[in-house]
Structure 1
Amino acid sequence: MQQHLSIQFPSAQQIADVRAYIKQSWKTLSRSPADILAAAYDPKLERRENSPWLVYVSAKENRLKVEQSLQQILSQAEFNKLEIRTLPANISTIQEHGLLYLPGSYVVPGGRFNEMFGWDSYFILLGLLQDQELELAQSLVNQLIYEIEHYGTILNANRTYFLTRSQPPVLTLMVLALFAHTQNKQWLQSIIPAIEKYYTFWTTEPHLHPETGLSRFFDSGEGPAPEVISDEKDDAGRTHYDRVLTYYTTYGINGLDAYYDSTSGFTELFYQGDRSMRESGFDCSHRFGLFNLEITQYLPVCLNVLLYQMEQDIAQIYQILGKDSRLWCDRATKRSQTINQLMWDEQVGLYFDYNFVTHQRSQYEFVTTFYPLWAGIASQKQTEKVVKNLAKFLAPGGLLTSTIVTGNQWDAPFGWAPLHLIAVQGLSRYHYLPQAEDIAKRFITLVVQEFEKYGAIVEKYDVVKCSANVSDEILFGYSSNEIGFGWTNGVFLELLSWLENLKS
């Protein structure tokens, strides 16, 4: 293992200061119909000055009732700044993008992410539960259920330009975490149709790969992602797409023809890969080919472990409600066997994503190798081999996302809160407690150190330099390091709780 951080683990007072910041941040990061103007604000899109903020209401909703309820809680001046529209059945006809209406309170990550994000919400929920924010936690889960019922799935986030994709499936983890506090069986029974609808979204085509029974990420939209064109620009005004093209042409990368035509520009294959990468949550990396553009050819470790966990969770929900859970247990068993068969590399001792076109594992070392440990899919021997490779990922401030520096934020030298929690819980599950404790302490120390410098908690960190100042190192996608920050808050509290339980 690498050396411990030179600075000491934070004092009780230092940790208390961060906890106080997190506690007050839930209010700052909360959105509801009462502050729908704050929710409608979108820093990711350009907007005509003085034009109203657009809010789209599901066709299943009574738009008139929604308007009346908003008029009751907003001033007339505030209401006049909104334009409420019914979401068209054919979403490809939407010319002007806007907020997707949600009837209750939810929590946004922070900064440019002023929406309810799919997988962020799980880690946010853990923080809310640690902070005894039970009412807000319940509402957050209810809004995700509402998205399934009214918009077809849990969305990347609640804007119209996200309607074509989801994010990593963590709903049932949230449901069971909340149920542990509420014990509300009636509610649990009522949301089973939505849970099963969401499971079907991930386990039917185009997400399903029929030959293996495993799933992939796939965005059903076409053309460039609107938020990338408007917002993901560097100091020279070049979009992420401009910079990717420069990279390809500068380095003479083979295969450019599939993604770029000199007369017509980027191909639909390029945009399909780029959009689908955004469903994965890992935007950007070179994990699924350069800039993740080959992602639709891959069966990812992370996604399929999450679907295994979802099958296990649904089985548990059925058992709680006295229903027959054997079908779900069988599905989980089958999936875990296929994951180990296709994704485990015995020689290297790591789990890798599987390319179903080439019938080969990727060999791209990525911290999602800890997901099978987190879910209990790995054997003790497999876990031993993964732990022997831990040094590849270990850095002074925690875990590297990958072992390669690419200029992408989901590669080295960057580390992200959710992946730290999954690794710590995975190692802990197999009783590698010293390693898990070491990682948790490194990351907590880093978060506290940077909080004391900047007075904020951020989205991601350079775990090599132990710094929140990352913008100059990120060459693709968006380079900002957003403040808030929802999932870092949640993971910080969860890791603290884990360390306290370890002591006792």
Structure 2
Amino acid sequence: MYGFIAPAFTYGSPHVSPEDLYGSLFRDIQHSHIFEDSKTFADAIPLEDPVLIIERYHQEQDRPGFDLQAFISQNFRMPAHIKSTFEADKSSSTSENIGRLWEVLTRQPENQERGGSLIPLPFPYVVPGGRFREIYYWDSYFTMLGLKESGRTDLIESMVNNFAYLIDSFGYIPTANRTYYLTRSQPPFFSLMVRLYSDIAGNEILKRYLPQLQKEYDYWMQNDGPSHEPFTAHRRLVKLPNGALMNRYWDDKATPRPESYREDVELGNEARDRFGTAPEATFRHIRAAAESGWDFSSRWFADENDFASIHTTDIIPVDLNCLMHHLEKALAEAYLLHNNTKMHLQYEEKARLRVAAIQTYFWDSSRNFFMDYDFKKQDFTKAVTLAGTFPLYFKLATKSQSHYMRGYIRLNFMRSGGLLTTTIKSGQQWDAPNGWAPLQWITYKGLRNYNFHRTADELCAEWLTLVDKEFKHSGKLLEKYNVSDTNLIAGGGEYEVQEGFGWTNGVYLRMKNHKS
């Protein structure tokens, strides 16, 4: 048997999400408005056995003068944002400060909190920063780009091993190592992480992680639904005509997210009152959008300015299916390295069929751009987004398509500070005027893949200048940036702009070195 083998490791607590563990106590706290950010209590550390805390709450809650905030302080320790330990040196370069930041953002196994919602991991890892105190799945790939530039192969190996460990433990990689994330994943970048590591350490890496690559694929392609009819779906798999199979985002729960509990309840009630949508359906769409990493964007809305019209699970995303194609190609190569010709050919065929489906269902010849597909309506969605550049990144667009796309990107997305994510100003953080590091990189690399070097260089210069400008001003590296007005901070979303910041650091270093 081949594959990665994790060391023996014991979890500090059972994998119970805090809303299930604490029940009415959790709900009462999240509805109390004591914490501005719902994630704060979801990450809280109990000071003793949760069963005792719950019993104490039920005994005390109806007594005269009961103070919920005081009860929380007596029974829980609140997590801190990750920023206070780093003092930026604005006299040195952004790159030099990022090099120092890696240690601030690194978590060691022996220092991980026991108890609470955190799932300890056996190896060191880099967190994004701010309120994000755990390893995040798709963030980590872009962080690794910078770790490679910094020569931190040790952390790249440790993080790949942690993700392999999560796959072996749960059958997939959750959004992050928190119990409340165990019902969903994130964009499947594990095969790109393995490929990045193999570029450093050789093709044997592909062989080593073949079992985990296969488990990742099986998770996304689970196909035990009751229907084989076209335009039907089961979990993350969508069935299309002529046997074509594509993927969507999903979540195995249809309840409010613990980390945004109050906000989800309010939106579920609004969608019910205005549209007659069952709250459970709205919760599922919210959670699926969270799995996409684009939480939130008009990309997932039927009405681009109306959050309550969210319908994520009706949508087949172009970026997700490009990632799945990469996973199929990685599996094909890994099986070939194991001299398993039968499986090699099987995954080559799956990848070939996926490319055909990507061309059939995502290329909009009226816009000359790749779009998401609404399989319920059997038509493109209305949202034009940078997700459409993923076929450039993975070299799945034709030469003719690439020329149209370069023009479309320049006209619709390029601004003075880089690329917009969408052209819609909805108030959501993954919409205008904001730009995000991972999508700057995907588009930059995609343009270079098709020899549009001048446009790529312009994008690179604009983005790096914006990051440098903000760093010189505030000493901060941010999660997202306002690319339309570089004198303003990015806004929107469920929380304040976070600093740290893993994927911004990673993409900055890679682009600074003009690596394609």
Structure 1-normalised TM-score? 0.77
> What's the counterpart of residue 255 of structure 2?
223
Q: Percent identity?
A: 33
2:83 match = none
Q: Which residue of 2 aligns with 1:482?
A: 498
Q: Indicate which of 460, 465, 470 corresponds to 2:490.
A: 470
Residue 199 of structure 2: which of 170, 173, 180 is its match?
180
Output the CA distance in 1 between the equivalents of 2:323 and 2:483. 25
Q: Which residue of 2 aligns with 1:277?
A: 289
- What is the distance in 2 between the residues matched to 1:258 and 1:245? 9
Q: Give me the whole-angstrom Cα distance separating, in 2, the residues matched to 1:202 and 1:322.
A: 25
Corresponding position of 1:18: 94
Partner of 1:200: 218
Deviations 1:195-248 (A, max 9, x none): 100111111241111234000000001310000027xxxxxxxx36537866x6
Q: Within the alignment, does 1:451 sit opposite 2:471 as a pair?
A: yes
Structure 2 counterparts to residues 148-163 of structure 1, below 5 A:
148-163=167-182
Please list every run of 5 or more consecutive structure 2 residues that lacks an aligned counterpart in the other structure. Answer: 1-88, 223-233
The answer as to 2:316 corresponding to 1:296 is no
Structure 2 residue matching 1:389: 3-state secondary structure: helix
In the other structure, the counterpart of 2:333 is 316
Aligned partner of 2:217: which letter?
Y
Deviations 1:393-416 (A, max 9, x none): 111100000011000000111000
State the distance in 2 between where 1:16 and 1:429 align. Answer: 33
Alpha-carbon offset, residue 316 of structure 1: 3.0
* Of 218, 239, 242, the match for 2:266: 242
CA positional deviation for 1:16: 6.2
Q: Deviations over 1:141-179 (max 9, x none)?
A: 000000000122111000000000000000011111111
Aligned partner (choices 418, 421, 440) of residue 398 of structure 1: 418
Contact kept? 2:370, 2:388, Cα under 8 Å: yes
Rounded Cα–Cα distance in structure 2 between residues aligned with 1:15 and 1:169? 38
SS at structure 1 position matched to 2:195:
helix
Give, in angstroms, the shift of residue 104 of structure 1.
1.0
SS at match of 2:351: helix
**Superposed displacement of residue 323, structure 1:** 4.1
User: Is residue 207–residue 337 contact of structure 2 (8 Å, CA) maintained in 1?
Assistant: no
Secondary structure at the counterpart of residue 332 of structure 1: helix
Aligned-partner Cα distance in 2 for 1:15–1:179? 36
AA partner of residue 323 (structure 2): L
Contact 1:450 1:468 in 2 (8 A): no
- Conserved? CA contact 1:446–1:467, under 8 Å: no
Aligned residue type for 1:173:
L
Unaligned runs of 5+ in 1: 1-12, 41-52, 55-96, 231-238, 260-266
Q: Which position in structure 1 is the counterpart of 2:68? A: none
Matched AA of 2:512:
L
Report the TM-score when normalising by structure 2.
Answer: 0.75
Alpha-carbon distance change, 362 to 184 in structure 1, aligned in 2, over 3 angstroms: closer
- Does residue 123 (structure 1) correspond to residue 155 (structure 2)? The answer is no
1:235 alignment counterpart: none
Out of 325-334 and 449-458, give the one that drifted further.
Answer: 325-334
Q: Equivalent residue of 1:498, what SS?
A: coil
| CA positional deviation for 1:308 | 0.8
Counterpart for residue 107 of structure 2: 31
Indicate conservation of the 8 Å contact 2:90/2:475, yes or no.
no
- The 3-state SS of whatever aligns with 2:430 is coil
Does the 8 Å CA contact 2:236/2:249 hold for their aligned counterparts? yes
SS at match of 2:391: helix
Look up the SS of the partner of 1:99 in the other structure: coil
What SS class does the counterpart of residue 115 from structure 1 fall into?
Answer: coil
Q: Return the offset for 1:27.
A: 0.7
Distance 1:15-1:299 versus aligned 2 partners, 3 A rule: farther
**Structure 1 residues 388 and 455: CA distance shift in structure 2, 3 A:** same
SS at match of 1:122: helix
Partner of 1:258, secondary structure, is coil
Superposed displacement of residue 126, structure 1: 1.1
Identify the residue that residue 262 of structure 1 maps to in structure 2: none
1:336-375 matches, within 5 Å, as 336-375=355-394
From the superposition, tell whether residues 326 and 184 of structure 1 become closer, same or farther in structure 2 (CA, over 3 Å).
Answer: closer
Q: Which residue of 2 aligns with 1:425?
A: 445
CA RMSD, 1 decimal: 2.1
Instruction: Identify which range, 385-394 or 297-306, moves more after superposition.
Output: 385-394
State the 1:498 CA deviation. 2.1
Aligned residues of 1:468 and 1:481 also touching (Cα < 8 A)? no
Report the residue type matching 1:489 in the other structure.
Answer: N
Q: Helix, strand or coil for the counterpart of 1:415?
A: strand
Q: For the structure 1 residues 417 and 329, does the alpha-carbon distance in structure 2 shift closer, same or farther, using more than 3 Å as the test?
A: same
Q: Measured at CA, do residues 367 and 348 of structure 1 come closer, stay the same or move farther in structure 2, by a change above 3 Å?
A: same
**Residue 9 of structure 1: aligned partner:** none
Q: Residues 257 and 436 from structure 1, CA distance in 2 versus in 1: closer, same or farther, beyond 3 angstroms?
A: same
Are residues 102 and 430 of structure 1, via their aligned partners in 2, closer, same or farther at CA, if it must alter by over 3 Å?
A: same
Distance apart, 1:338 and its partner CA: 0.4
Aligned to 1:167: 186
CA distance 1:101–1:327, shift in 2 (3 Å) = same
Q: Which amino acid aligns with 2:335?
A: Y
Candidates 128, 149, 157, aligned match of 1:109: 128
1:133 aligns to 2:152 (yes or no) = yes
Change (3 A) 1:298 1:366: same
Q: How far 1:477 sits from its partner (Å)?
A: 2.3
